[in-house]
């Protein structure tokens, strides 16, 4: 090529490279879409953070021991309200600065009168001086008046409010474990069949049907469990308590199955087909290839499905609200139970804003938030270790 032609070609390549436009100058629509997606993602993270901050702020007085549920405590007559400093009065009434600022004088006087009446009502009760929001009463049993031995009791009504959270924790764990025990074999078995054993035609039919369960509203599942499943299971097993942990866990498993199935099926399908084809070429059956080759290779994804299913079971509200009854400390699956979510949903509307019952419910929500976060964190760590071990990494 002549020197002039080579020079022109190099010049075109140089100008062509320098002429490439990047960023919003080249594709403004794509750039705007990219920034919008990033903004939506950051907004979702910010909303979750703000929700946690709000719940934590409302429950902070319980964690710091700043609440007092004792009916018999020092009271201030309403006539002395004008002689008190605003901050002292606000603390005495248990109000936030915004609530105190927006409250009129008549309402403040009414709150002070309620405190005086409560102190007079509980003057003769042996447990009237106990502050039941202290951690010793929240976590450990106590021999209350009228009981023969120390008991774990959640009873936020009456003169003495009992806020022991152990019955609620046991109820949440018991019902969630029952749901997982029932859901995991069914969902994992269905995932193995659909991804490895079923014909393409059968897979197209079964997969949408199972995943369709996730679209059924929780209130519908709870209503079905309350009216149909409760009577059927009671007639089969013959237990006395109609609404119990077994019923709640069985109904809850219907909501957990599609979640575990979808994630496990995706994990099993993502295993390279060469694995199963090599096993079949060596004489293994389809079931042997699926259970001994594909399933072990997909263990991280299957484990993640189980962890997410357990988190879904812990956070469910409507199903357990409609199928659970009283909070009882018992590990029997046929006894009644009350999980944390059901207690919050049933009692929050009855709690006085800013009161000790109100703060306790938000404290339960904070504990549930923390426990779910730690569960997902532990599940992620275990999943990564399983994945590294299967990939041969140390």
> What's the rounded mean pLDDT across residues 106-121?
77
Structure tokens at 101: 């600022």
Percent of the chain with pLDDT over 90: 39
Residues 354 and 95: beta-carbon distance below 8 Å:
yes
What confidence score (pLDDT) does residue 25 get? Answer: 61
- Burial (CB < 10 A; 0-12, 13-18, 19+), residue 105, is exposed
The C-alpha atoms of residue 366 and residue 55 are separated, in whole angstroms, by 6
- CA torsion, ordered 53, 56, 57, 62, to nearest 10 deg: -170
What pLDDT, in 10s, does the model give residues 163-194? 999 999 999 999 999 999 999 999 999 999 99
Percent of the chain with pLDDT over 70: 90
The C-alpha atoms of residue 115 and residue 278 are separated, in whole angstroms, by 77
Structure tokens at 280: 């079949």
Q: Is the pLDDT of residue 323 over 50?
A: yes
Q: Is the pLDDT of residue 6 over 70?
A: no
Structure tokens at 34: 């990219």
What pLDDT, in 10s, does the model give residues 49-89? 898 899 989 999 899 888 888 877 677 788 888 888 888 88
Structure tokens at 262: 């979808």
What confidence score (pLDDT) does residue 17 get? Answer: 46
Write down the residue that tokens 């152990």 correspond to.
166
Rg (CA), the chain: 30
Q: Is the pLDDT of residue 153 over 80?
A: yes
> What's the rounded mean pLDDT across residues 91-119?
79
Q: Band of the pLDDT at 305, cuts 50, 70, 90?
A: very high
What confidence score (pLDDT) does residue 110 get? Answer: 85
What confidence score (pLDDT) does residue 349 get? Answer: 86
Mean pLDDT of the chain: 85
The C-alpha atoms of residue 59 and residue 354 are separated, in whole angstroms, by 10
- Of the candidates 71, 119, 112, the one whose C-alpha atom is nearest the C-alpha of residue 93 is 112
What confidence score (pLDDT) does residue 23 get? Answer: 53
What confidence score (pLDDT) does residue 326 get? Answer: 84
- Residues forming beta bridges with residue 162, ordered by sequence position: 155
Q: Is the pLDDT of residue 8 over 70?
A: no
- Of the candidates 358, 144, 352, 244, the one whose C-alpha atom is nearest the C-alpha of residue 153 is 144
Residues 214 and 312: beta-carbon distance below 8 Å:
no
What confidence score (pLDDT) does residue 104 get? Answer: 86
Q: Band of the pLDDT at 19, cuts 50, 70, 90?
A: very low
């Amino acid at each position: 090529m002549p020197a002039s032609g080579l020079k022109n070609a190099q010049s075109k390549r140089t100008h062509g490279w320098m002429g490439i436009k990047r960023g919003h100058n080249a594709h403004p629509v794509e750039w705007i879409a990219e920034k919008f997606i990033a903004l939506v993602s950051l907004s979702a993270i910010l909303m979750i953070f703000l929700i946690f901050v709000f719940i934590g702020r409302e429950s902070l007085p319980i964690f710091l021991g700043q609440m007092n549920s004792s009916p018999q405590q020092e009271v201030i007559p309403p006539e002395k309200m004008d002689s008190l400093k605003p901050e002292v009065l606000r603390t005495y009434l248990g109000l936030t600065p915004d609530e105190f600022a927006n409250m009129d004088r008549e309402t403040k006087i009414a709150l002070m009168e309620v405190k005086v009446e409560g102190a007079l009502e509980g003057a003769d009760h042996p447990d009237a001086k106990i502050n039941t929001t202290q951690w010793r009463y929240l976590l450990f049993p106590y021999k209350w008046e009228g009981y023969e031995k120390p008991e774990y009791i959640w009873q936020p009504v009456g003169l003495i409010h009992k806020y022991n959270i152990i019955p609620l924790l046991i109820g949440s764990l018991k019902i969630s474990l029952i749901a997982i025990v029932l859901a995991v074999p069914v969902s994992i078995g269905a995932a193995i069949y659909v991804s490895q054993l079923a014909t393409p035609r059968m897979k197209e039919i079964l997969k949408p049907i199972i995943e369709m369960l996730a679209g059924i509203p929780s209130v519908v599942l709870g209503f079905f469990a309350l009216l149909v499943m409760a009577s059927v299971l009671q007639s089969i097993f013959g237990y006395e308590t109609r609404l119990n942990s077994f019923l709640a866990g069985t109904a809850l498993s219907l909501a957990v199955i599609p979640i575990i199935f979808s994630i496990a099926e995706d994990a099993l399908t993502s295993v390279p087909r060469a694995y199963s084809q090599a096993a079949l070429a060596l004489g293994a059956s389809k079931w042997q290839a699926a259970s001994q080759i594909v399933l072990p290779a997909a263990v991280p994804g299957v484990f993640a499905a189980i962890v997410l299913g357990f988190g879904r079971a812990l956070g469910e509200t409507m199903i357990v609200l409609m199928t659970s009854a009283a909070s009882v400390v018992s590990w029997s699956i046929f006894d009644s139970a009350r999980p944390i979510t059901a207690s919050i949903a049933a009692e929050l509307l009855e709690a006085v804003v800013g009161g000790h019952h109100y703060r306790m419910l938000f404290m339960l929500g904070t504990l549930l938030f923390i426990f779910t976060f730690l569960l997902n964190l532990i599940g992620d760590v275990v999943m990564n270790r399983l994945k590294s071990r299967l990939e041969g990494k140390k």
